[in-house]
Amino acid sequence: MNGMTIAQKLNEATAKLTEVGIENARLDAEVLLAYVLNTRRLALYVHIARDLEEAQIVRYDKLIARRLEHIPVAYLTGHKEFMGMNFAVTNDVLIPRQDTEVLAQGVIEHLQEYSGDLKLADIGTGSGAICISILKYIDRITAAAVDISRNALDVAEFNAEKFNVSDRINFYEGNLLEPLNGQKFDVIVSNPPYIPSGKFKTLQPEISFEPHGALDGGTDGLDFYKQIIDTAPEFLNDKGFIVFEVGIDQSEPVIELLKANGSFGAIQIWKDLANIDRVVAAWKK
Ligand code: GLN
């Protein structure tokens, strides 16, 4: 086989990925090659004219073939960066999104105003990215992380160990707030499934590789907000607050649900980098 340099291989892979409509083809080609070479992405450019070894080419070609089937990069590498931390992911969990950092950062900022030890609940924790990153940034928090999927909890527990916060998290397998009956929290966070059931056909093919149960929010996408808001007040301490990630056009209906509940006073919307309403936060009256 003819030798191939890093530069040539990246160009070849980028062209193939572009052809099947993958948006960030060059970035994906680089991330996957860095993964095969066990190096950082930018380090590829230091050795851009170096020949790849045969075994490296074979491994890389296999990964590119899978990416061409639209399997998300994070499932191929088993990792996704969130809040500057490299979380383990498998196809049992939603891949943490950059937009969700708005939620984690906002909660960290607001919790600075509270003194003493704090308790957080994360409903539908998935990989644990939200909960674990908040705990990593604030020492005096303990957390309850709930998920209905045992396999997702295994991933979250692995991440809690990885980031040395397992002694501050209890994991619960179950539906929404149910396993936490009798407990009270200063903050409840949730990035629930919120995509309207009828919308999946219009989404990127990558989404079909993620757990459907982590994405499908019922006919109007609001099923889980309704259920959580219904019982949340009894789980919140005085001055406690609840923070939801919301999908496009969902901030208003979620605010309506919070107002209709009657237990919430102040409500805020936090925007993402694209200036879209991404998070709704509400304080108990
Ligand atoms: N942000 C995800 C998406 O748009 C959806 C996450 C969710 O349903 N909570 O693909």
pLDDT of residue 173: 98
What is residue 209's predicted lDDT score, i.e. its pLDDT?
98
Q: Say what the pTM is.
A: 0.95
- Distance between CA 256 and CA 277 in Å, rounded? 15
| Predicted pLDDT of residue 2 | 62
Residue in 82, 89, 94 to alter for ligand 1 test, most ligand atoms within 8 A of Cβ: 94
For ligand 1, atom 10, the nearest C-alpha belongs to 207
Of 191, 222, 249, the residue with max ligand 1 atoms within 8 A of its CB, to mutate for a pocket test, comes to 191
pLDDT along the chain (285 residues), means of 10: 87 98 97 97 94 97 98 98 97 97 98 93 98 97 98 98 98 98 98 97 95 97 98 96 97 98 98 96 97
Alpha-carbon span 102 to 68, nearest angstrom:
31
How confident is the model at residue 1, as a pLDDT?
Answer: 53
